């Protein structure tokens, strides 16, 4: 692959710069939603339950409590619909997959914040 082709390839598959985050962190994912002909950005704020995959297929799952019901949503890292990711809090957890949060509610479902 020559230099010109490489440059065009990098421009088309531009990787967005997201902050470094891990499971247990509280993030806001601003996601583009297309309704009819209109496009808007909606925020989804919650705790990162897991990060899985590598490269172009890598995804992360965010969990939030909405009206007393747990809602989980998986986002691809390199989706063109992910507008931005904002790191709100850094959590203090000892494992990489936080599936145990699904069985918890109330105060026991909270994640301690890491002191900086």
CA–chain centroid gap for 16, Å, is 13
pLDDT band for position 9 (cuts 50, 70, 90): low
Tokens of 10: 């990098």
Cα separation, 19 vs 5, whole angstroms: 29
DSSP, res 50: E
- Its pTM stands at 0.82
Average pLDDT over residues 24-36: 94
| Structural contact between residues 87 and 19, judged by C-beta atoms closer than 8 angstroms | yes
Task: Tell me the residue length of the chain.
Answer: 116
Q: State the chain's mean pLDDT as an integer.
A: 89
| CA 113-78-20 angle, 5° bins | 25
**Thinking of the domain 14-99, which architecture would CATH place it in?**
Roll (2.30)
């Amino acid at each position: 692959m020559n230099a010109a082709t490489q440059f065009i390839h990098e421009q088309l598959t531009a990787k967005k710069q997201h902050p470094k985050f891990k499971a247990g962190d509280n993030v806001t994912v601003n996601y583009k939603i297309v309704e009819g002909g209109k496009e808007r950005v909606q925020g989804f704020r919650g705790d990162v339950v897991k990060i899985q995959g590598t490269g172009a297929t890598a995804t992360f799952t965010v969990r939030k409590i909405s009206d007393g019901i747990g809602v989980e949503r998986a986002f691809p890292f390199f989706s063109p619909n992910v507008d931005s990711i904002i790191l709100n809090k850094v959590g203090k957890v000892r494992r990489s997959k936080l599936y145990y949060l699904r069985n918890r509610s109330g105060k026991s479902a909270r994640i301690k914040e890491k002191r900086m």
